[in-house]
Amino acid sequence: MKPIAVAPILRLPYARDIYDYTAESLLNPGSVVIVTLRGQKIRGVVLGDAEGKFKINRLLSIVDIQQGFSVSAATVAFFQWMRKRYGVGYGVLFRSLFSFLPRIINSDGIENPFLIAARNENQNENLWELASSPNDSIAFIKEFVHKHPQSQLLVLFPNIALLEQSAAALAALGPYIVHSNVTKQKLLEIGSIIAGGGNALVFSTRIGLFLPWMKLGGVVMMYENNEDHKPLESTPRYHTRDAACELARCTGATFQTFGSAPSLTLWYTMRSQHHYSMTQLPHYQSLEIIDMRARPYEQRFLSHESLLEILETLKNQESVLLIHERRGVITTLRCSSCFTLLRCRICNSALLAKQKILLCPECKSNQPLPVRCDQCARSTFLRQPAGIERIRPELLQELKKQFPSRTPEIHIWSKDQQLSVTSWQLPVVLLATSYAFDRMKILADEGPRVRLVVVLSVDGILSRGEFDSAEAIFSRLTQLASDATTFGIRTIIQSRFSEHHVFQAISQNNPQLFYEHELKERTRFGFPPAFLRLTVQPRKPIPAFQKFVDRIAAGMEYRKTKGAVVIRCPTNEQSRIIAIQSALLDRFPGKLKVALV
């Protein structure tokens, strides 16, 4: 009898636990077994030998071994990294994998195609490279499929809209589509093909990482700097880029990203670590930046230059797209000096100006108008114009003056709305929010032939109080510049922060300027990627935080960073947190900054 560690496939709250059992024979990691837990027979996956903390005579034996079906050793190693890096429970991870497989497993000796995939030791060393343009991805995918006809290729997209655009361009290769809107039966068919070792080209969102890969030869990540690769509201929380890199390392596959510009974290990692390589940063047409500081918020949402371009485009029977950061009809307030957006003191949401009070749309609290700005102590505030709902009637009046006989139609493009071009009289003016950045191909090819894009404002993102606000704007604008170059779309950006390094880099077509300036600012104040920053709310006794210290060490080693830890705690537990702070500083002398909130 030998002790083995088994990860039961459970729902929360027991999904994070590992249990010890005994087996009569040696079982390889990835073997699927039936065990008894809390009086029920459930399925589990063998992780390896147990640590030997319990006596063998106190352990239960496994009930059955599911012959002919095993999770690949590479997948087990990948899930172990996910557990260590992000604290994701094994139960959650293996449940995601088994959701792609049929529930009925042959156990009567019939040969089953699901086998443990041995790692190809003859495969070349991993290639970590950033391609210069998202347009090169089509050529790369075609070449990979031609050179590796018996291999599997995973192409990751940040959202469904971008996935469907690329799938249409490569429909001749017959890619398998995997995302949340695909039917359960179709996902089971795709999972069976992949687990059986068949060659497959898979276009997927982030859930494709949990497919039962057996012959994964390459991982391609599209639009790596897109915010959707790191959703804040998903469970479990992880970054698609880091997980894709580790999956490629565990399976021996190549990893390559395509995008208008890399994220700051990837650029920093490529520059500081030798096993990454980076081609020349992409260059696209420069975007025109219009300074709106000389125009008060109350007067006009469009500059005179933008209005002339819109009228000229409409006269040429070509459509126009206006992008604004907000959709609502109620205005907000900003400081007249530093342009800081007034936010709720309870939930940090943007406050809406309604008569003589400020209303929070999230917690429904009412707050009086402040006397002074918290940032610069100025006492004057400006009303920020409402979103696209308020822009529509004002723009319509302007168009009626210029086109009295036939005024162009104005349509608000919702996120999930299909463009009904056949019922429109072209040209038209479309109003949309930030989701339109990912849909330029639809507008240029299948939509109303948009040839001018005016970004009315993205300044609100800079004022939202997050350290990566500038990078969020930079990723959207570089993607817009890439699509504008590809589809021949003229682009104008209006901003009151035209001297900000984001807009300077965009206007000068110099991404290196943004990376160097942004990295300098983040390093100065202890933010990623130069520092590892964590926010923790401790709830357990001090001895339990040894795992927390080990997790910080693993993160610092993975990122090759320094360290910054923010510990959020209630005031009545300051003594406990001070002890943890001392332990962290002793573990990382001179390398770690610890702040208490």
**What is the phi/psi pair of residue 378, to 5°?**
-75, 155
Greater model confidence, 543 or 92: 92
CA–CA separation, 310 vs 316, rounded Å?
A: 10
**pLDDT of the residue at 476:** 85
Given strand 366-368, what is the order of strands in its sheet? 366-368, 357-359, 352-354, 332-335, 381-384
167 pLDDT above the threshold of 80: yes
Q: Indicate whether 219 and 241 sit together in one domain.
A: yes
Query: Could you read off the pLDDT of 80-113 as tens digits, one per residue?
Result: 888 877 778 888 888 888 888 775 433 333 333 3
* Burial of residue 420 (number of CB atoms within 10 Å: 0-12, 13-18, 19+): exposed
Query: What token pair was written down for 571?
Result: 């005031």
* Inter-residue contact 137 to 222 (CB < 8 Å): yes
273 & 294 share domain? no
Q: Which of 254, 278, 302 is the last residue of a domain?
A: 278
Tell me if 556 is assigned to some domain: yes
Q: What is the CATH number of the domain that holds 37?
A: 3.40.1440.60
When pLDDT is averaged across residues 222-235 and rounded to a whole number, the result is 74
**Would you call 431 exposed, middle or buried from its count of C-beta atoms within 10 A (0-12, 13-18, 19+)?**
buried
> What is the sign of the dihedral through the CA atoms of 98, 102, 108 and 111?
negative
For residues 1 and 56, is the Cβ–Cβ distance under 8 A?
Answer: yes
Q: Show the tokens assigned to 190.
A: 């795709």
- Token pair of 535 as six digits: 């926010």
318 and 462 share a domain?
Answer: yes
Structure tokens belonging to residue 210? 């949990």
Radius of gyration of the chain (CA): 27
Per-residue model confidence (pLDDT) at position 146: 85
| Structure confidence by residue, pLDDT tens digits, 265-288 | 878 877 766 444 444 556 666 688
| Statement to judge: residues 433 and 544 lie in one domain | no
Per-residue pLDDT of 333-350, as tens digits, reads 777 777 677 778 777 777
Q: Range with the lowest mean pLDDT among 60-69, 244-253, 364-373, 585-594? A: 585-594
Residues 6+ apart with CB under 8 A from 111: 68
Among the residue ranges 111-120, 244-253, 425-434, 550-559, the one predicted with the least confidence is 111-120
Q: Are residues 260 and 310 in the same domain?
A: no
- If asked whether residues 310 and 453 sit together in one domain, one would say yes
Please tell me whether the peptide bond between 529 and the residue prior to it is cis, using omega within 30 degrees of 0.
Answer: yes
Closest CA to 553 of 532, 538, 535, 567: 532
Find the mean pLDDT for residues 564-578.
58
Asked whether the beta carbons of 574 and 541 are under 8 A apart, the reply is no
> Which residue, among 530, 562, 515, has the nearest Cα to 225 in the 3D structure?
515
Query: Does the pLDDT of residue 429 top 60, yes or no?
Result: yes
Residue 329 · residue 383 · CB < 8 Å = no
The dihedral sign for the CA sequence 351, 292, 481, 452: positive
Same domain membership, residue 444 and residue 306: yes
Q: Does any domain span residue 346? A: no
pLDDT at 574: 60
30 with 162, same domain? no
Q: Which domain holds residue 559?
A: 533-596
Question: Residue 62 has what DSSP assignment?
Answer: P
- Write down the pTM of the prediction: 0.72
Does residue 122 sit within a domain? no
Q: β-pairing, 277-278 with 128-130?
A: parallel
pLDDT digits (tens, 9 = 90+) for 350-404: 777 776 778 787 777 888 877 788 777 777 776 665 677 777 887 888 888 888 8
The mean of the pLDDT values for the chain is 76
Name the residue among 324, 340, 560 with its Cα closest to residue 458.
Answer: 324
3-state helix, strand, coil in the chain (%, to 5): 35, 20, 40
Confidence at 159, pLDDT banded by 50, 70, 90: confident
Let me know whether 514 and 548 are in one domain.
no
Which residues, including other chains, have CB under 8 Å from residue 323's CB and lie 6 or more apart?
A: 432, 433, 434, 436, 437, 453, 454, 455, 456
Whether the Cβ atoms of residue 146 and residue 182 lie closer than 8 Å to each other: no
Is residue 123 very low, low, confident or very high in pLDDT (cuts 50, 70, 90)?
very low
Q: How many other CB atoms sit within 10 Å of the CB of residue 232?
A: 6
Residue 452 neighbours by CB under 8 Å, 6+ apart: 309, 310, 313, 318, 319, 320, 321, 489, 490, 491, 492
Phi/psi of residue 564, nearest 5 degrees: -150, 125
Which of the listed residues 496, 522, 548 is the one where a domain comes to its end?
Answer: 522
Give the domain CATH number at 406: 3.40.50
Q: For 51-58, what is the mean pLDDT?
A: 72
- Report d(CA 377, CA 383) in Å as an integer: 17
Pairing of strands 128-130, 152-156: unpaired
Q: Which residue has the higher pLDDT, 157 or 113?
A: 157
Asked, for residue 492, whether it belongs to a domain, the answer is yes
Helix 264-272 to helix 511-525 angle, to the nearest 10 degrees? 90
CATH number at residue 151: 3.40.50.300
In a domain, 147, yes or no: yes
Residue 579 has phi, psi (to 5 degrees) of -65, -40
Judge contact between 450 and 489, C-beta under 8 A: yes
In a domain, 363, yes or no: no
Number of domain units in the chain = 4
With contact defined as beta carbons under 8 Å apart, do 195 and 212 qualify?
yes
| In contact, 156 and 222? CB cutoff 8 Å | yes
Residues 136 and 273 in one domain: yes
Please tell me whether residues 192 and 132 are part of one structural domain.
Answer: yes
186 plus 316 within the same structural domain:
no
Structural domain includes residue 361: no
More confident residue, 445 or 380: 380
How confident is residue 116, by pLDDT bands cut at 50, 70 and 90? very low
- Backbone phi, psi, residue 534, to 5°: -125, 145
The DSSP line for 381-446 is EEEEP--HHHHHHHHHHHHHHH-SSSPPEEEE--TT----GGGS-SSEEEEE-GGGGG-HHIIIII
What's the gap between Cα 288 and its chain centre? Answer: 28
Domain boundary among 503, 522, 541: 522
Residue 32 has pLDDT above 80, yes or no: yes
Closest CA to 366 of 355, 374, 375, 377: 355
Helix (H, G, I), strand (E, B) or coil at 487: helix
Is the residue at 345 inside a domain? no
pLDDT at 19 over 90: no
